[in-house]
Amino acid sequence: MIRFEQVSKVYPGGQKALSDVNFHLRRGEMAFLTGHSGAGKSTLLKLITVIERASAGKVFINGHDIADISRHHVPYLRREIGMIFQNHHLLMDRSVFDNVALPLVIEGFSHGEIKKRVAAALDMVGLYGKERHNPIMLSGGEQQRVGIARAIVNKPALLLADEPTGNLDPKLSMDILRLFETFNDAGTSVLIATHDLGLIARMKYRTLTLRQGRMLGAREIGEPLRPG
């Protein structure tokens, strides 16, 4: 689903964010991405969603070589990816329904189809019946669920989450991870970037660790660990 081959990213100012990163997230796999602030997690996610382009190496997403995708076709690739943010990025002056419907409206689905799919997505995240509420009226955990419903409403092959539990207490964080598990059980690939090592320790999933732009211990490409 995601494959990085010797990927490096140097920002225009000369800041090195990723160095020679190799990893593979298999189709249907769920994994964590961790590392200190500044380790390169956001940059790695931005290469997957083509907000940034690699300076060197190859990035493959759902079978596509990103280098072959023109700027014009990037929005089509992004439809295959559901993105979840720490701060939800919800429209607070619109209803829960409108927030979740947004990706479908952009894709041009019919009104009837949108109603059906939004209801199904809200049901899956446990928010059935809250369509007419404004997100501002909901708790932090519920707002995060609206963000998750919006991310999965068009049934993406891949879910990416950037610190999805950053503002939640341990109980709510665990509930959110259980929710990701249900999507993963249904076949969706999931990559979760998080600082929360306590949360990771309680789950059975593989952890990819970045340190100063380098991926530790990920050697699926067959490259031996270099000495030093």
Residues that bind ligand ADP (CB under 6 A): 11, 13, 15, 17, 35, 37-43
Between residues 118 and 159, which has the closer beta carbon with respect to ligand ADP? 159
Tell me the closest approach of the beta carbon of residue 197 to ligand ADP, in angstroms.
14
Report the nearest approach of ligand ADP to the CB of residue 42 (Å).
3
Whichever of 8 and 62 has its CB closer to ligand ADP, that residue is 8
Amino acid at site 22: N
Q: How far is the CB of 148 from ligand ADP (least distance, A)?
A: 19
Smaller CB separation from ligand ADP, 42 or 134? 42
Query: What token pair was written down for 103?
Result: 């990706």
Q: How far is the CB of 213 from ligand ADP (least distance, A)?
A: 7
Query: Nearer Cβ to ligand ADP, position 87 or 139?
Result: 87
